[in-house]
A and B are shown apart, each in its own frame.
Chain A
Amino acid sequence: MNDLFNDQISGRVWVVGDDINTDLILPIQAYYLPVEQQPAWVFSANRPGWSGDVGQGDILVAGRNFGVGSSRPAARSLKNLGLACLLADSINGLFYRNAINFAFPALEAPGVTALFKEGDRAEISFEAARIANPASGKTLDGVPMPAQLLAILQAGGIYSLLQSENLIR
């Protein structure tokens, strides 16, 4: 197992709404910048300054249809911003694939936005998709990531796999 992946995740929660799209996560201006500069632009249009407030290991809780939009590597920016996990009522399929491939833990958990308010702590057993809010005592079972996909995440993403097979540089 890759040391990037931690099955037990806990952290401070940030909450965003429905239909958060990839133009908001990785604006086109940022797409041209070096990878390490891209995370500072996350949500700059809808939540200016937010990226500076995010701490290492924080958790993003989102509503329905998170990540709708383009194929750009928006999940990589969320990971590089320091976020430990995404929990969403539902996730766009393309974003979900990118999250797995960039080794950014993401869980679908219908109803998760009702479980948290901003600033709460979330505790997550990722493999079991078990989510808890210790302050309220409430828990929720999300949709576990299928084993084949979890394996890609645990391996550190798909590029690590391809590199280990000498298929990419």
Chain B
Amino acid sequence: MGMTAIEKILARNSGLARVRPGDIVTTKVETAILFDNNFMETSWREILHVYDPAKIVVVFDHRAPASHVLSAKAHQTGRAFVKQFGIERFHDIGFHQGISHALVADHGYGLPGTVLLCSDSHTCSAGVFNLAARGVGAPDMTYAVAKGETWFRVGETIRYDLCGALRPGVSAKDVFLHLANTHGDHATMNVEYGGPALAGLSMNARRTISTMSAELSVEFATFEPDQIMIDHVQARTDAPFEPVWPDTNADYADKRVIDLNLIEPLVALPDAVLNNARAVGDVAGTDIDQAFIGSCANGTLDDLAVAARVLAGRRVADGTRLVVTPATQSIYRAAMAEGYIQTIVEAGGVVTNATCGACGGGSMGLLGPGEICITASTRNFKGRMGDAAARIYMASPATVAASAIAGVIASPMDYFT
């Protein structure tokens, strides 16, 4: 039997002819990304040696600009680290600010066929560029930065072939919610995405799916390469790379087909992502206090365009707060040039600087006890966005924007006919 894409990537980067599920492999790490939480005094262990400053990226995203003194101190520690080791790929507060996973996409940091580690759980995001990309904890990150290598436990792979096309008003977030609702968790396993529908999905849409795959508990989420992806990366970096296609006789644990034509807008109910979504019609009319569009999964230019389309010429309902957070400052600038920011603000939305912001409940846009939020971010866990007694529904940016106008959960479909 042949190998799946991720097995081939892991084999290549560990110098082995082949790997099989169950193997433990040690690979080199091409890209290692540290972010502001790594430098918090409750996590940081001073690193005395780095394997290669050119392979390291440092990003301030979770609490940027600093939300309190603890994060201000973390940023100071991070700046000192960057200076000490001469790290050039540094995203401080300012022009190049943004969420790490979106910056990887913006800057071509994820080289197809390589290994990328970041100390954030949604690092599988970069799998859209055909990488072995995974989130690890601060200890693994420290090890990788010091030694340039890490270990992986090779899991079995499930192949998802996407076919058909999305109807207007239905988005990649709905595809993910459908997958999470139908197939549940994939703990200890990998997912590989491919199929004829990829050609019709933008890199941003694909990245929503790869990023959200963290919620499936996958080890890796890897997309099959295509020319659109290769062009995207080549437009952003001169570094050479070699994409990896799965063998035609690859050994998958299962092969599943998802027909995009059949997907409808879904909403995940509070507290869990998996097996917890309903058709938007089933929860339509639920009161909301806050609506949030942003995060590494849904703070893309496409997402801001959809929000602007829904909000154009309308107003956010009285008593409802709409918070919109572009994933990077470069997306923010592009959205300004397109007029999206103006449209959203004129509708009564609050547009923040690029940051994780309300997604992680760490810096702004927090929820009080009993408040209800509909979010287009990544997680609806209890307590995730503020008080543990707040309730968080999760849906696409289109559904969130439509809900902000209605002041209750609402279907976006009328805006896309």
A residues within 8 Å of B by Cβ? 19, 21, 23-24, 27-28, 31-35, 38, 44-46, 64-65, 68-73, 75, 90-94, 97-98, 101-102, 108, 146, 148-149, 157-159, 161-162, 166-169
Contact = CB atoms under 8 A, between A and B. Distances in A.
B188 interface: yes
A146 to B, nearest CB: 5
Contacts of B215: 68
B139 A65 contact: no
B187 A69 contact: no
B120 to A, nearest CB: 6
Interface string B182-212: 0001011000000000000000000000000
Contact of A169 (B45, B272, B362, B383): B45
Interface of B: 24, 37, 40, 42-43, 45-49, 68, 70, 119-121, 134-140, 142-143, 146-147, 151, 153, 155, 185, 187-188, 215, 217-219, 272, 274, 360-362, 379, 381-384, 388
Nearest to A90: B187
A97 B24 contact: no
B45 A159 contact: yes
A32 B71 CA distance: 9
Nearest to A98: B137
A23 B121 contact: no
Given A71-B135, A102-B139, A167-B48, A148 B379 contact: no
Given A28-B361, A65-B185, A168-B45, A71 B383 contact: no
B88 to A, nearest CB: 22
Contacts, number: 132
Contacts of A101: 137, 139-140
A24 B381 contact: yes
A93 B140 contact: no
B153 A146 contact: yes
A23 B381 contact: yes
B138 A73 contact: yes
A148 B24 contact: yes
Given A71-B121, A93-B219, A24 B383 contact: yes
B381 A21 contact: yes
Contacts of A27: 383, 388
Given A90-B185, A93-B217, 18 more contacts: A19-B185, A19-B272, A24-B383, A31-B42, A32-B70, A45-B382, A70-B120, A71-B136, A71-B137, A72-B137, A75-B137, A98-B137, A101-B140, A146-B153, A162-B142, A167-B146, A168-B45, A168-B142
Given A35-B42, A94-B137, A101-B137, A69 B142 contact: no
A168 B139 CA distance: 11
A108 B48 CA distance: 35
Contact of B383 (A28, A93, A97): A28
Contact of A158 (B42, B46, B119, B142): B142
A65 B184 CA distance: 10
Contact of A19 (B45, B70, B119, B274): B274
Contact of A162 (B143, B217, B379, B384): B143
